[in-house]
Amino acid sequence: MKRILLTLMVVVAGLSTIAPDVSAQTDNRNTGASRRQQLMDQWHKDMAEFRARSAQERQLQNLADSLASVQARAALRNQDFVLEADNVQFRNGQTVFVNSTTNFISVKGNRAVVQISPSNFASGPNGVGGVTVDGAISGLEVRTDSKGRTTLSMNVNGIGINAEIEIYMFPGSNRASATVYPNFNSNTIWIEGNIVPYDNSNVFEGSSL
């Protein structure tokens, strides 16, 4: 009988020792699950805030693009704009990324300036790394199709230039490309950049030929 009681006491003591460990493990699992749930909830909240900010930023960007597009089209029609180029492609297919302050096509009334300055190191004939030519505009025409694509074409004649220029403006923004077709040679060039009203431009005009 004493042996049975002793055995029961040992078993009870063992159970009392194990029970807190099992409870602690359960508490740890519950705490870990709760922490994971908190992290997931926070992640979902952060993602929702990010999407909301992104949507708002896209709306603001679309609004800015739309405003810039309206201003650029008005400037085209008023013959009072600058196409500030950020890349120039030459007849051999070479494309050069350029400084928009020294590479541009400007129109102010009946005068147009074409300045191509691909070099940041050599001064060039115009003093800013390239060539600047200007001349009088004739035959200017602006067309907008049913899809909102605007095209301006004109002839420019001066001491250093005798060329046909065509500017194509992309819908929904002030982004545009231009092609300059010289009438006296085949050195056609293509430029791409943004159209801004003349008074809003920051270009630097070098010395004309």
pLDDT in tens, 139-183: 999 998 988 889 999 999 999 899 999 999 988 899 999 999 998
**Counted domains in the chain:** 1
Query: Of 133, 126, 207, which Cα lies nearest the Cα of 163?
Result: 133
- The residue range of the domain holding 171 is 1-209
* pLDDT (tens digit per residue) in 173-206: 999 999 999 987 888 999 999 999 999 999 999 9
- Rounded Cα distance between 95 and 88, Å, is 6
| More confident call, 122 vs 199 | 199
**pTM above the 0.95 mark?**
no
Q: What is the CATH number of the domain that holds 126?
A: 2.40.128.410
| More confident call, 168 vs 41 | 168
